[in-house]
């Protein structure tokens, strides 16, 4: 599968609003090929996560890969984690409001309130069901990417349009405040 045959799907494209279908585990090798394309685009665009609908593939696949980069200079480092058919099992009661951006909504950030931690069940790249608790920024990445699997974007989660800003203003005024 050639990554150049795919592009990042952007806000307004109806594929971002579709509900992703579960991956048939008999098709695991195909899902792993699609995950490689997703990882290419995530790294190429400086993302810390990506979901299959963001490359126009309506499957329940996501990668979370927190790491410091130009878009998220203070992100903690974790190895990329592919999650197949992920589902949140439980959430912490504590919620945190932070700025989010998205490869599918270029140039815009929004304040989003999300649970501080989430317990997640998913199938790994070997086809084994796993359960893991994610906390802090990795939890936020998971919840952001999970939204893509249910037809939502972070823009749907902002409380007010006043909680939106451009990346330029964010980096000039907000990130350093």
CB 145 within 8 A of CB 11: no
Measured CA to CA, the distance from residue 148 to residue 17 in angstroms comes to: 8
The proportion of the chain whose per-residue pLDDT surpasses 70, expressed as a percent, equals 99
**Which is nearest to 55 in space by CA: 39, 73, 75?**
39
What residues contact residue 142 under an 8 Å CB cut-off, 6+ apart? 49, 62, 64, 83, 86, 88, 118, 120, 134
pLDDT at 141 over 90: yes
Residue 148 labeled ligand binder: yes
Among 33, 100, 116, 145, the active-site one is 145
Binding residue per annotation — 44?
no
Q: pLDDT of 81-107, one tens digit each? A: 999 999 999 999 999 999 999 999 999
CATH number of the domain at 3-174, please?
3.90.45.10
Q: Is the pLDDT of residue 130 over 90?
A: yes
> How many CB atoms within 10 Å of residue 109?
24
Task: Check if the beta carbon of residue 8 is closer than 8 Å to that of residue 44.
Answer: no
pTM score: 0.94
Strand-pair category, 61-64 with 49-51: antiparallel
pLDDT at 114: 98
Percentage of residues in the chain with pLDDT exceeding 90? 85
**pLDDT value at residue 6:** 83
Report whether 40 belongs to an annotated binding site.
no
**Whether 24 is catalytic:** no
Give the confidence band of 128 by pLDDT, cuts at 50, 70, 90: very high
Q: Confidence class of residue 177 from pLDDT cuts 50, 70 and 90?
A: low
pLDDT digits (tens, 9 = 90+) for 43-54: 999 899 999 999
């Amino acid at each position: 599968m050639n990554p150049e045959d795919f592009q990042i799907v952007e806000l307004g494209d109806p594929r971002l609003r579709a509900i992703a279908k579960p991956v048939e585990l008999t098709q695991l090798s195909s899902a792993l090929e699609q995950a490689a394309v997703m990882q290419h685009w995530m790294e190429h665009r400086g993302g810390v996560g990506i979901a299959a609908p963001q490359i126009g593939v309506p499957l329940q696949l996501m990668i979370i890969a927190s790491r410091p980069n130009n878009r998220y200079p203070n992100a903690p480092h974790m190895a990329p984690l592919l999650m197949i058919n992920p589902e949140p099992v439980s959430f912490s009661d504590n919620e945190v409001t932070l700025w989010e951006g998205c490869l599918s909504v270029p140039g815009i950030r929004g304040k989003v309130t999300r649970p501080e931690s989430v317990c997640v069940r998913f199938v790994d790249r070997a086809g084994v069901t796993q359960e893991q608790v994610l906390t802090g920024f990795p939890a936020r990445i998971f919840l952001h990417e999970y939204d893509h699997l249910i037809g939502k974007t972070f823009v749907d989660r902002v409380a007010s349009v006043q909680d939106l800003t451009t990346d330029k203003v964010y980096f000039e005024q907000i990130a350093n405040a």
